[in-house]
Structure 1
């Protein structure tokens, strides 16, 4: 297990160092050689973790999917409205740490690699759909809306929040607050649709 933890830490180190370099020199001006050198590793070691420079940007989405599975389990005994909100809040809170670097990673990902990110987005929607289906089965929500549609809207506001936050020049903007306000609007619609 210790070896696996070291590998994960090195991958994170490569990711953050790469993002710092992208911020300083611009994404297109940073080579794999420069990243490897800055991390104190061989170029071949970089390729053990990332097949291409572009995959550094995809790391954010891939790692978030692993985290999504972990926090879904953490809140499995919470009522569906609160469960979904807590999951989204934890996912968004990750962005508040190292916000400048993650804003850059997010905007570069959107700009250059969105088509490769569709697998992660679909997995995210599927996870949310399962949670909503379970809540319907357990009768903790009663709605006429299709679970996939609800999941799609929730994931949509999540990414809208990320995009709005990543392009915001206002450092005081709280990403979690933005999401919570939009989430309440959506949730009110879900709960009110049968009244």
Structure 2
């Protein structure tokens, strides 16, 4: 168990050091060797954790799914509409704090369209669908739509918000405010039966 925790810590270290270097020198100007040196590890060790430099950016999707589980537990006693809103807002705050990271991660994700990232998105949708199923079971939400469809739409507006915000479509509003507006519109449709 201790060994696994050390591996997770090293992977996070590589991720955060890489992001610092990307911000300082630009993504294209940072090599794997530079990242490894900055972390105090061998270049080969880097490849034990990330197959290519691009995968450092894709790690954000993986870490968000882990973070999603923590947030779900944090708000376990909150009603479903508010729980989902709080969950998405906390995930969005990560991007708000690291807008340069968002732009890098999104462009790389879109450009590479790797299977690993689509698995992360599927896992994200499944987690949201489970929360909705649970809310339907305990009657805190009634909807004529199936949970998978609702989850897909919510995840869709989440990514739409990220992409629009990263491209500067609505610079007058925060990323969270943009999401909340869209969330409210969609939620009205979800609750109609």
Q: For residue 61 of structure 2, what is the aligned residue in structure 1?
A: 61
In structure 2, relative to structure 1, the CA distance for the partners of 1:136 and 1:180 (3 Å cut) is: same
Alignment correspondent of 1:127 = 127
Matches within 5 A, 1:79-158: 79-158=79-158
SS of structure 2 residue aligned to 1:77: coil
Counterparts of 1:9 and 1:173, CA distance in 2? 35
SS in 1 for 2:160: helix
Q: Normalising to structure 1: TM-score of the pair?
A: 0.86
Q: What are structure 1's unaligned runs of at least 5 residues?
A: none
Note the alpha carbon deviations across 1:70-99, whole angstroms, 9 max, x for none.
111111111110011011111111112222
TM-score with structure 2 setting the length:
0.87
2:46 corresponds to 1:46: yes
Give 3-state SS (helix, strand or coil) of 1:145's partner.
coil
Compared with structure 1, are the counterparts of its residues 116 and 41 closer, same or farther at alpha carbon in structure 2 (3 Å cutoff)? same
Q: Mark the CA change 1:5 to 1:169 in structure 2 (over 3 Å): closer, same or farther.
A: farther
**Residues 54 and 113 in structure 1, CA contact (< 8 A), matched pair in contact too:** no
SS across alignment from 2:186: helix
Distance, in Å, in 1 between the alignment partners of 2:147 and 2:163 is: 24
Q: CA deviation at 1:3?
A: 6.3
Distance in structure 1 (CA, Å) of the matches to 2:182 and 2:21: 34
Greater alpha carbon shift after TM alignment, 56-65 vs 12-21: 12-21
Ranges of 4+ aligned residues in structure 1 off by more than 6 Å: none
The equivalent residue for 2:73 is 73
> In 2, distance between residues paired with 1:151 and 1:170?
25
Cα distance in 1 for partners of 2:45, 2:171 equals: 36
Q: 1:104 to 1:169 in 2, by over 3 A?
A: farther
Inter-partner Cα distance in structure 2 for 1:98 and 1:142: 36
Tell me which moved more, 49-58 or 135-144: 49-58
Counting matched residue pairs gives: 192
- Of 155-164 and 51-60, the range deviating more from structure 2: 51-60
Residue ranges of structure 2 left out of the alignment (5+ in a row): none
